[in-house]
Amino acid sequence: MKKTTFILILLAMVSCVVYTKDRKKFVINDFSKVRLDTLIPNKNKSYYAYYIKVKGIVNDTIKIEMMNYGGHYIIPPGEIDTLLNADYYGKDTLIWAFNPYKATKGKLEIEYAL
């Protein structure tokens, strides 16, 4: 009985994990190149904002740029634990560039979503 219950709970947890294109999370250790990434809105959802969480440490300034709409965020050097957000009501794909700019080393955890 306990084994069956455990398996059912495990299956329920696995089935709840859904890959979404409107939410991503990654770690940046390599500050030698720009990372381009996209957020693709789900056609069956309504959105009102996007957010970007940045946590970690970096030795100099980095930029996070929205390539297809313009605009960027400048993140200063040092220890970082910040939340960036803005309104988003569209259905367009957002293209993001995570630019090391002046930074050469560090470790950043970045999560972003619509």
pTM, rounded to two decimals: 0.76
3-state secondary structure (DSSP) of residue 80: strand
Residue 96 lies in a domain: yes
If you average pLDDT over every residue of the chain, what do you get?
A: 84
Q: CA-based angle 34:110:57, to the nearest 5?
A: 85
Residue 45 lies in a domain: yes
pLDDT digits (tens, 9 = 90+) for 51-80: 999 999 999 999 999 988 888 999 999 999
Q: How many domains does the chain have?
A: 1
- Compute the distance between CA of residue 56 and CA of residue 43 in angstroms, rounded to an integer: 33
CATH code, 54? 2.60.120.1540
pLDDT of residue 70: 83
Residue 5 lies in a domain: no
> Please, what's the b/e burial string for 71-93 (b: 16 or more CB within 10 A of its CB; e: otherwise)?
eeeebeeeebeeeeeeebeeeee
Domain extent at residue 64: 21-113
pLDDT of residue 12: 46
pLDDT of residue 105: 95
Residue 6 lies in a domain: no
Average pLDDT over residues 16-35: 81
Output the CA torsion 110→69→65→55 (10° steps): -20
